[in-house]
Structure 1
Amino acid sequence: MLIQCAGPAGQGPRSQRVCRRLPTTRSPNSHDTTAPLHRLPDRGHFSLIPDVCRIAKTAGSIILNSGGVVRGVTNWGVFQLPKPFRKHQVTHYTGHHFLLRFDASPRSQHALRRTMGLDPRLIRYSVVKLGDKLEDIVDVPGVAPWGSGEATHSSKVQPPTADDPLDKFPAMRPVPEADRQRNEGSLKDIMGLLNRDDK
Structure 2
Amino acid sequence: MPLYELLCVSAITPSTAPFRELVRSTTRLVVDHGGAVRAMRYWGRRQLPQRTRRHQQWHYEGDYFLMHFDTSPPVLSQLSSRLRADPRVVKWTTLKLGEKLEEITPPGTSAGYTDAQGMAMYGETRPTPPANTVMGGGKTVE
What is the TM-score normalised by the length of structure 2? Answer: 0.64
Structure 2 unpaired stretches of 5+: 9-14, 110-135, 137-142
Q: Residue in 2 aligned with 1:135?
A: 102
Higher relative contact order (CA 8 A, sep 6+): 2
Q: Does 1:126 align with 2:93?
A: yes
**Cα drift, residue 56 of structure 1:** 0.9
Where does 1:104-123 land on structure 2 (aligned, <5 Å)?
104-123=71-90
Inter-CA distance 126–39: structure 2 relative to 1 (3 Å threshold): closer
Q: Kindly, what percent of the aligned residue pairs are identical?
A: 32
Bigger helix fraction = 1
- Note if contact 2:43-2:64 (Cα within 8 Å) is conserved in structure 1: yes
- Cα deviation, 1:97-121, whole Å, max 9, x if unaligned, reads 0011101000110111111111111
Confirm or deny: 8 A CA contact 2:42 2:64 kept in the other structure: yes
Tell me the amino acid that sits aligned with residue 45 of structure 2. Answer: V
> Would you identify which runs of 4 or more consecutive aligned residues in structure 1 move more than 4 Å?
none
Q: What TM-score do the two structures reach when normalised by structure 1?
A: 0.47
CA distance in 2, matches of 1:52, 1:38: 18
Q: How large is the RMSD of aligned CA atoms in angstroms? A: 2.5
Structure having the higher strand fraction is 2
> Considering only CA atoms, is the larger Rg found in Structure 1 or Structure 2?
1
In structure 1, runs of 5+ residues without a counterpart are 1-33, 42-47, 141-162, 164-199
